[in-house]
Amino acid sequence: MLLIPGPVSCSTEVIKALGTDSLSHTGGEFTPIFHNVLKQLRVLFHSPTSSGSMPLVISGSGTLGFDLVGNNLFPRGKNKILLLSTGYFSDEFGECLGDYYKHDITVLKSDVVGESINLVKLQDLLHKGSYDGVVMTHVDTSTGVLNDIKRISELVHSESPGTLVIVDAVCSLGCEEIRFDDWQLDFVLSASQKAVGAPTGLSISMISKRALDIALENDNTVSYYTSLKKWVPSIKSYEIGELPVTYFATPPIQLISALNIALQQLLSRDYVGEHRKRSNWFKKELTESLGLELVSRGPVETTAHGLASVYVANPGGIVTALNRLDIAIAGGIHPEIKGQYIRVGLMGCDASEPTLLRVLDAVRQSQT
Amino acid sequence: MLLIPGPVSCSTEVIKALGTDSLSHTGGEFTPIFHNVLKQLRVLFHSPTSSGSMPLVISGSGTLGFDLVGNNLFPRGKNKILLLSTGYFSDEFGECLGDYYKHDITVLKSDVVGESINLVKLQDLLHKGSYDGVVMTHVDTSTGVLNDIKRISELVHSESPGTLVIVDAVCSLGCEEIRFDDWQLDFVLSASQKAVGAPTGLSISMISKRALDIALENDNTVSYYTSLKKWVPSIKSYEIGELPVTYFATPPIQLISALNIALQQLLSRDYVGEHRKRSNWFKKELTESLGLELVSRGPVETTAHGLASVYVANPGGIVTALNRLDIAIAGGIHPEIKGQYIRVGLMGCDASEPTLLRVLDAVRQSQT
């Protein structure tokens, strides 16, 4: 039983689509599959073709999305980027943009570990400074903090309309609502192996028209494999779906076939509602019944719905006890509070009520 | 029937290993699988731990290997690189190193399309110039040209011992002999979906001790996702195989499980001998029985053993006729001769004698 916050357990149908032989990457069998994946991603992101946006699916892990941003969206030079930091993964994103792509990073940290970004402080910074991009983590998998990206984007657009709004949604796509066009987002990066319900190995993103224009005119990209000038013609040809498609690098046939089924299943359900309900119930059990404190602060309804991060007396003991029952949960990874909490994934096929009840039991026993 | 020069058809056992549910990427079930993959890659490359070399397996397509070279092996500045060009893929590699990573590229092209690199000219260039790296394609998938990387490496080491020897083995690993240590290679990049016999989605490489030392001390890497400083501690921890492993980015669980089986099967066979035999037979049928000319020049035994590139009167007609029989072969992609030839893959489970006989039939019929 896989109850870590990703990779998650996939459905039987997804695994069946995965366990098929290779197809020609430019042929008539695979092209409609990739076409369908891209079409469904537009539904998932609420972003039709008419908006000029574009979905991207690239062979690689979620981390590759950091490079798509750093390499393409800011023509090189000292670009000013405001990084909203709510945990380990925000800081990794900042390392990529600052230490590697040499952008000038200003960090706005949450006031306390577990809090989302302070909007008053954000408004103040936006008012005083001039930023080429604001970068945030929708859900930081290290803390379970959920940022209100809709309100943050509104703030950015009202204070600084030229600034790109960039979101890491690795741990939110498929379990939190993301209205790409309505919320005027410019780049959302995610991955296949969390709430989307597919295997690991695909970087999934959506890029706005204005960000795409920047990327395609950017003459200073330094990384070849993450250059959108190379990828966009190929992915666009799969989205059009007519042969011959344009080749750049061979797409991972089976992972894309599995993603196709995962998206069909996801979009046929009220995936936001289901994750909310499960998360709210589980977190109330942790806080109200067991009297524990979540790492993510505020009402449980406003914390990430794809995982629960909770302070416990003996994190290692609980992880080990559950391992013995064949249930994998995760320990903490936020450097400031690493040894003080556990993380329980609430995404994927194994995150059912009976299994979560067993987790609650193990937590209860360890507290006594 | 998949007879393109990759992706290839995988064995039933490989597809079975692929079609399994996700495991925890840091857990006790997956770690031994990744450990075995790395151990087997050392056997495939003839490079034991004692040499200080290191196998690398990263989520991404074969193209990602170009970035591993450009980003890590040459501390930035104008590095002088000698590119041995034998086709489309050599030129792509050159574009990555020159246009993106801004290295100073000198190109030595084969005298005529289809010829391997002229060793006298190479020796002359090495003698006159001073290069930080020599980059070559072992087998260029666009032409079927096979470079004698053993002799080229000997030449480089005797004329210019400080120069790194770098090989693109995307279309040769698993069907041509590669003795990494004996031949004193520094970096060999490849992929999972060709003669290795696994699905698409993994970049596979081997790096020498001296190249690894450069990469780990390189303070000027620009791409984050392809930075070996980030990957090496994680992959090394999987190679040691003890928990806890070091996290960088989530490895693609199922692809690595499939690769594990593909490598077991490959290493249990005389994969070099088998590919040689099949290729020599098929090419003699094309040249001696059908009187056709191969794109790759010289005795058939010295051309790539994983594919046949052959000039035909009506390439499109043959591709279409075979498509109707459910056999996929590939057209030409080398810009200078694009519409004049076909490419038939000789790797993977579908490349059997009965199927290849049907290809020969279709070619014969189209010539009359």
Q: What is the pLDDT of residue B230?
A: 98
State the best of A14, A192, A250, A320 to mutate against chain B, taking most chain B CBs within 10 Å.
Answer: A250
Q: What is the mean pLDDT of residues B256-275?
A: 98
B328, B343 Cβ separation under 8 angstroms: no
- For B225, the closest of A10, A64, A199 (CB atoms) is A64
CB contacts < 8 A, A to B, total 191
User: What is the model's pLDDT at position B78?
Assistant: 78
Q: Do A15 and B20 touch (CB under 8 A)?
A: yes
Looking at the complex, report in whole angstroms how far the Cα of residue B122 sits from the nearest Cα belonging to chain A.
27
Cross-chain Cβ contact B226/A223 below 8 Å? yes
Residues in a beta bridge with A137: A168
Q: Indicate the residue of A16, A199, A225 with minimum beta-carbon distance to B252.
A: A199
Give the mean pLDDT of B346-367: 96
Whole-number Å distance between alpha carbons of B262 and A135? 41
pLDDT, chain B, mean:
96
Q: With CB atoms and an 8 Å threshold, state whether B199 touches A248.
A: no
pLDDT at A332 over 80: yes
Mean pLDDT of B249-266: 98
Of B25, B199, B224, the CB nearest to A66: B224
B221/A96 CB distance under 8 A: no
Of B166, B191, B206, give the one whose Cα is nearest residue B84.
B166
Task: List the single residue in B8, B22, B66 with the smallest CB-CB distance to A225.
Answer: B66
- Tell me what the mean pLDDT of segment B205-215 comes to: 98
- Between helices A209-217 and A228-240, what is the axis angle to 10°? 130
**One-letter amino acid identity for A89?**
F
Percentage of chain A with pLDDT > 90?
98
What is the Cα–Cα distance from A159 to A166, expressed in whole angstroms? 16
Which string of DSSP letters, residue by residue, matches B55-77?
Answer: EEEEES-TTHHHHHHHHHSS-SS
Burial group, residue A148, by CB count within 10 angstroms (0-12, 13-18, 19+):
middle
Contact B193 A62 (CB under 8 A): no
Chain B nearest C-alpha distance from A88 (Å): 12
Model confidence band, residue A368 (pLDDT cutoffs 50, 70, 90): confident
Indicate the pairing of strand A202-207 with strand A54-59.
antiparallel
* Strands B164-168, B133-137: pairing kind: parallel
| Interface with A, mutate which of B4, B15, B20, B22 (most A CBs under 10 A) | B22
pLDDT in tens, A311-321: 999 999 999 99
Whether the per-residue pLDDT at B147 is higher than 80: the answer is: yes
Show the domains of chain B with their CATH numbers: 12-267 (3.40.640.10), 271-367 (3.90.1150.10)
pLDDT category at A76 given cuts 50, 70, 90 is confident
**Cα–Cα distance, B13 to B258 (Å, whole number):** 8
Q: For residue A71, list chain B residues with Cβ-Cβ distance below 8 A.
A: 223
Contact A258, A10 (CB under 8 A): yes
Contact B254 A23 (CB under 8 A): no
**B193 CA to centre of own chain:** 10
Q: What is the spatial distance between Cα B110 and Cα B70, in angstroms, rounded to a whole number?
A: 23
pLDDT of residue A298: 94
CB-based contacts of A184, cutoff 8 Å, min separation 6: A153, A157, A165, A208
Residues of B in contact with A63 (CB under 8 A): 224-225, 248-249
Helix runs in chain A, H state only: 12-18, 30-45, 64-72, 88-95, 119-128, 149-159, 209-217, 228-240, 253-267, 271-284, 315-324, 353-367
What per-residue confidence (pLDDT) applies to B76?
74
Tell me the pLDDT of chain A averaged across its residues: 96
The whole-number pLDDT of residue A256 equals 98
- Is residue B211 a contact partner of residue B73, using CB atoms and an 8 Å limit? yes
Contact yes or no for B223 and A222 at CB 8 A: yes
Inter-chain residue contact A15 with B4, CB threshold 8 Å: no
Coil, strand or helix at B332: coil
What confidence tens digit (pLDDT) does each residue in A226-272 have?
999 999 999 999 999 999 999 999 999 999 999 999 999 999 999 99
Distance CA B208, CA A83 (A): 37
Count Cβ atoms within 10 A of the Cβ of residue B94 and give its class: 0-12 exposed, 13-18 middle, 19 or more buried: buried
Q: Chain A partners of B223 at a C-beta cutoff of 8 Å? A: 67, 71, 100, 222-223, 225-226
Per-residue pLDDT, B2? 97
Residue of A nearest to B244 (CA): A331
Q: Is the pLDDT of residue B329 over 80?
A: yes
Write out pLDDT tens, residues B18-31: 999 999 999 999 99
| Residue A367 pLDDT | 83
B195, B213 Cβ separation under 8 angstroms: no
Contact B250 A191 (CB under 8 A): yes
Return the pLDDT at B303.
97
Rounded to a whole number of angstroms, the distance from the CA of A155 to the nearest CA of chain B is 30
A147: confidence class by pLDDT, cuts 50, 70, 90: very high
pLDDT at B368 over 80: no
CA–CA distance, B190 with B7 (Å, rounded to integer): 13
pLDDT of B367 over the 90 cut:
no
Strand partners, B82: B106, B134
